[in-house]
Amino acid sequence: MSFKEVNPSELNMNPFTTIGKDWLLITAGNEEKCNTMTASWGAMGVMWGKNAVTVYIRPQRYTKEFVDREDTFTISVLGKEYRKALNYCGTVSGKGSDKIKDAGLTPYYTDGTAGIEEADMIMVCRKMYHDEIKPECFDAPENDGKWYPEKDYHTMYIAEVLKVLVRE
- What residues make up the domain containing 130? 3-167
The per-residue pLDDT for 71 is: 98
CATH classification of the domain holding 37: 2.30.110.10
Helix (H) or strand (E) segment spanning residue 158: strand 155-167
Instruction: Determine phi and psi for 2, rounding to 5 degrees.
Output: -125, 155
Taking alpha carbons only, the member of 161, 164, 31, 20 closest to residue 109 is: 31
Number of domains in the chain: 1
* DSSP one-letter string for 1-21: --EEEE-GGG----HHHIIII
Average pLDDT rounded to a whole number, residues 68-86? 97
Query: Which amino acid makes up residue 92?
Result: V
- pTM higher than 0.85 for the full model? yes
pLDDT tens digits along 94-109? 999 999 999 999 999 9
Q: Residue 1: pLDDT band by 50, 70, 90 thresholds?
A: low
